A and B are shown apart, each in its own frame.
Chain A
Amino acid sequence: MALSRLSSRSNIITRPFSAAFSRLISTDTTPITIETSLPFTAHLCDPPSRSVESSSQELLDFFRTMALMRRMEIAADSLYKAKLIRGFCHLYDGQEAVAIGMEAAITKKDAIITAYRDHCIFLGRGGSLHEVFSELMGRQAGCSKGKGGSMHFYKKESSFYGGHGIVGAQVPLGCGIAFAQKYNKEEAVTFALYGDGAANQGQLFEALNISALWDLPAILVCENNHYGMGTAEWRAAKSPSYYKRGDYVPGLKVDGMDAFAVKQACKFAKQHALEKGPIILEMDTYRYHGHSMSDPGSTYRTRDEISGVRQERDPIERIKKLVLSHDLATEKELKDMEKEIRKEVDDAIAKAKDCPMPEPSELFTNVYVKGFGTESFGPDRKEVKASLP
């Protein structure tokens, strides 16, 4: 498993490690058992064990990828403020453990579908930094050819179904994907991610009912960062125990800042979904940034709260402590790794900046299937022929 993960990471690890690091990513699959920070809370099922099977390889992988995700999000913040990224930008820093833990438990045949906070999930699914920054800046090399933007990342080869702007709309879609997986006997599952704000949408319960009725391999994951934009969960939901909201559908509450807890929960959920049907996972997580770049994130929560979470529960710090305590790397080596990541991100940004914008003719492509006999007309029913400067 470690080796296959290495190859899937090949997009991210673009430079070979120097000899000094050779002891880090060599085929060192010494098994390590990690205890999750908190026990799981279960609803209508038996919670999985707190002991998670891992390896030194995986630990370092986790650290590196999470640090990369964190760096990428911070860089996106600066790019947005420099007006290179326009539109809307919703950042995931603080929540990296969910993306990482989930990837560690599943394969690329399992589908993931999420809402608009999708940069890190895309990276976890095998997307490259170049694709991310190009798409954010609306360039041709972006994963959606520059036509989607921050909220619409997709990766068909890795079964990543995006990237959705309308809150809650992706969950019934996810259940549909699960149906297809079951029908085609793929032995794969679908993770449909949504937030605590979206948990109050009616379509979620419709999708849940159908999934339970037809025993679909759908796993609904509520990334509960406790704030739906600016509204705290207790002000929007009568029952903020999102893992119990499925009523007749089993649920599990997970510490979303602990990558290993997430990994264990997702592994458990996948097995459950394949054997018995839908299950809800509630990831107790936190975002450091505001809802989007237009939101300072401090009008509805105190700075003390944010820094408190950063100090006590930061997912990267936790992995760092584990790496150091298991003597897998020194502080300096980790710092060097972070420096390398910073350079990698800067290089990707520079490369993306050089990429051209999509051609004006792309405005009309892919509205319908090409060559389906339908054309797009400009004003006055005249075809737009001129290329605008």
Chain B
Amino acid sequence: MAALLGRSCRKLSFPSLTHGARRVSTETGKPLNLYSAINQALHIALDTDPRSYVFGEDVGFGGVFRCTTGLAERFGKNRVFNTPLCEQGIVGFGIGLAAMGNRAIVEIQFADYIYPAFDQIVNEAAKFRYRSGNQFNCGGLTIRAPYGAVGHGGHYHSQSPEAFFCHVPGIKVVIPRSPREAKGLLLSCIRDPNPVVFFEPKWLYRQAVEEVPEHDYMIPLSEAEVIREGNDITLVGWGAQLTVMEQACLDAEKEGISCELIDLKTLLPWDKETVEASVKKTGRLLISHEAPVTGGFGAEISATILERCFLKLEAPVSRVCGLDTPFPLVFEPFYMPTKNKILDAIKSTVNY
């Protein structure tokens, strides 16, 4: 396992973070969408570790988003299997399996349904190593859940619950922005010796297509990436929201504002240094996420950057997020942090 990790790491070659954009992105591969990339990652994970298992509701036939296609046929029903409809039971079961040294890759069908399992994640998974004095751990646990708006999901198929989990020391929270990132990050999550919650932006399952290298590779956790360099303002986001932010950056450039865009990738523990370095350069920060603004993860980023960069800030930290309402049905276009809202905020921050 260690040799495999070493080989994958060397292939990736990590230059300094400011040149982060030139990592795996230079390698070519087949164009794949998000669910195919995740599928590939799962195939590799199960292939390389005979003690890894994938289970959840409906994963046997490929899952409702086709992320687990072909796994049951290739690895057998003993390693890839369906569970009954009981999230709390599924995650609890996964924790137990992981505690015996296995890699349990749990699928929660929609992030909106993760709450019955919240107790297991917070009280059991996150604290297992700590309270047993390192005798036991459930590091092999990875929970995958599709999250985020999809255009017509309504209250219970669109939620972004990442903020709830970022408040729990002991687990990691990771969110990829694209197919290539997803494959590398998921493999890192599965092989990371800590329990991880991996949120997949469901909007991108089919919409995002990117060249994904076919071999086994990992992208390191807790390392943010500057995906667009600029000087006037730093934008921080994750997941599908980055696409929207990128559009806003392009529009802002036409008006002469140079934007630096950072993909956080890992929300817990998050890469404070990269964001700090960027804000010290630009002096302005804007955070954007789909989850409601109050208590969203943007608040944590804002507070930390304020502590570290107070004297360098030229304007208050701006948060362009979902509104403080339940995720609405017909009102979704009004609720979402759209490109124009971000552009507005960029301009008002720069002109503060």
User: Are B324's CB and A377's CB within 8 A?
Assistant: yes
User: Are B58's CB and A229's CB within 8 A?
Assistant: yes
Mask of A299-317 contacts with B, CB within 8 angstroms, 1/0: 1000000000000000000
User: Are A379's CB and B320's CB within 8 A?
Assistant: yes
User: Are A388's CB and B85's CB within 8 A?
Assistant: no
Contact A203/B58 with A151-B154, A376-B325, A379-B319 known, Cβ cut-off 8 Å: no
Interface stretch, picked from A45-53, A90-98, A356-364, is A356-364
Residue of A nearest to B322 (CB): A379
Most buried by A among B115, B156, B345: B156
Q: How far is the CB of A365 from chain B (nearest CB, A)?
A: 9
User: Are A363's CB and B84's CB within 8 A?
Assistant: no
User: Are B323's CB and A377's CB within 8 A?
Assistant: yes
Is A236 an interface residue when CB atoms closer than 8 A count as contact?
Answer: yes
User: Are A203's CB and B116's CB within 8 A?
Assistant: yes
B329 contact from A147, A166, A229, A380, Cβ within 8 A: A147
User: Are B85's CB and A147's CB within 8 A?
Assistant: no
Is A11 an interface residue when CB atoms closer than 8 A count as contact?
Answer: no
A149 contact from B84, B116, B321, B329, Cβ within 8 A: B329
Q: How far is the CB of A208 from chain B (nearest CB, A)?
A: 15
| B320 proximity list for chain A (CB < 8 A) | 379-380
Contact A166/B325 with A360-B331, A362-B331, A363-B335 known, Cβ cut-off 8 Å: no
- In Å, the complex CA distance between A198 and B116 comes to 13
Is B277 an interface residue when CB atoms closer than 8 A count as contact?
Answer: no
Residue of B nearest to A387 (CB): B334
User: Are B345's CB and A138's CB within 8 A?
Assistant: no
Chain B interface bracket (under 10, 10 to 19, 20 to 34, 35 or more): 35 or more
Residue of A nearest to B109 (CB): A229
Q: How far is the CB of A51 from chain B (nearest CB, A)?
A: 37
Q: How far is the CB of A70 from chain B (nearest CB, A)?
A: 25
Contact A87/B319 with A200-B85, A230-B61 known, Cβ cut-off 8 Å: no
- In Å, the complex CA distance between A201 and B88 comes to 8
Most buried by A among B61, B85, B157, B348: B85
- In Å, the complex CA distance between A149 and B330 comes to 9
| A235 proximity list for chain B (CB < 8 A) | 82
User: Are B318's CB and A364's CB within 8 A?
Assistant: no
Is A88 an interface residue when CB atoms closer than 8 A count as contact?
Answer: yes
Mask of B334-352 contacts with A, CB within 8 angstroms, 1/0: 1101000100010010000
User: Are A236's CB and B116's CB within 8 A?
Assistant: no
B85 contact from A86, A87, A152, A236, Cβ within 8 A: A236
Is A148 an interface residue when CB atoms closer than 8 A count as contact?
Answer: yes
Mask of B142-161 contacts with A, CB within 8 angstroms, 1/0: 00000000001111110000
| B325 proximity list for chain A (CB < 8 A) | 363-364, 367, 376
- In Å, the complex CA distance between A380 and B319 comes to 5
User: Are A201's CB and B331's CB within 8 A?
Assistant: no
Is A44 an interface residue when CB atoms closer than 8 A count as contact?
Answer: no
Most buried by B among A86, A299, A360, A388: A86
Is A384 an interface residue when CB atoms closer than 8 A count as contact?
Answer: yes
User: Are A166's CB and B58's CB within 8 A?
Assistant: no
Is A381 an interface residue when CB atoms closer than 8 A count as contact?
Answer: yes
| A376 proximity list for chain B (CB < 8 A) | 323-325
- In Å, the complex CA distance between A151 and B337 comes to 25
- In Å, the complex CA distance between A197 and B325 comes to 30
Is A16 an interface residue when CB atoms closer than 8 A count as contact?
Answer: no
Contact A202/B116 with A138-B329, A360-B334 known, Cβ cut-off 8 Å: yes
Residue of B nearest to A238 (CB): B84
Residue of A nearest to B156 (CB): A165
Is A39 an interface residue when CB atoms closer than 8 A count as contact?
Answer: no
Is B86 an interface residue when CB atoms closer than 8 A count as contact?
Answer: yes
User: Are A87's CB and B334's CB within 8 A?
Assistant: no
| A197 proximity list for chain B (CB < 8 A) | 84-85
| B152 proximity list for chain A (CB < 8 A) | 86-87
Mask of A165-200 contacts with B, CB within 8 angstroms, 1/0: 111100000000000000000000000000001101
Is B122 an interface residue when CB atoms closer than 8 A count as contact?
Answer: no
Contact A379/B154 with A87-B329, A201-B86, A363-B328 known, Cβ cut-off 8 Å: no
Is B113 an interface residue when CB atoms closer than 8 A count as contact?
Answer: yes
Mask of A224-237 contacts with B, CB within 8 angstroms, 1/0: 00001111000111
- In Å, the complex CA distance between A387 and B318 comes to 22
Mask of A351-389 contacts with B, CB within 8 angstroms, 1/0: 000000110101110010000000011111100100010
Q: How far is the CB of B159 from chain A (nearest CB, A)?
A: 11
Is B50 an interface residue when CB atoms closer than 8 A count as contact?
Answer: no
| A229 proximity list for chain B (CB < 8 A) | 57-58
Is A290 an interface residue when CB atoms closer than 8 A count as contact?
Answer: no
B331 contact from A231, A237, A363, Cβ within 8 A: A363
| A236 proximity list for chain B (CB < 8 A) | 82, 84-85
Q: How far is the CB of A118 from chain B (nearest CB, A)?
A: 14
User: Are B337's CB and A88's CB within 8 A?
Assistant: no
User: Are B85's CB and A148's CB within 8 A?
Assistant: no
Is A278 an interface residue when CB atoms closer than 8 A count as contact?
Answer: no
- In Å, the complex CA distance between A229 and B60 comes to 13
Is B76 an interface residue when CB atoms closer than 8 A count as contact?
Answer: no
Is B29 an interface residue when CB atoms closer than 8 A count as contact?
Answer: no
User: Are B329's CB and A379's CB within 8 A?
Assistant: no
User: Are B58's CB and A231's CB within 8 A?
Assistant: yes
Residues 144-168 (chain A) with a chain B CB within 8 angstroms: 146-149, 151-152, 165-168
- In Å, the complex CA distance between A168 and B85 comes to 9
Is B293 an interface residue when CB atoms closer than 8 A count as contact?
Answer: yes
Q: How far is the CB of B243 from chain A (nearest CB, A)?
A: 18
Is B89 an interface residue when CB atoms closer than 8 A count as contact?
Answer: yes
User: Are A358's CB and B330's CB within 8 A?
Assistant: yes
Is B295 an interface residue when CB atoms closer than 8 A count as contact?
Answer: no
Interface residues of A (CB under 8 A from B): 86-88, 138, 146-149, 151-152, 165-168, 197-198, 200-203, 228-231, 235-237, 299, 357-358, 360, 362-364, 367, 376-381, 384, 388
What are 12 A-B contacts with C-beta separation under 8 Å?
A86-B152, A146-B329, A151-B154, A152-B155, A167-B85, A198-B85, A200-B85, A228-B84, A367-B325, A377-B324, A379-B293, A379-B319
The 3 closest A-B CB pairs, nearest first, are A165-B156, A200-B84, A138-B330
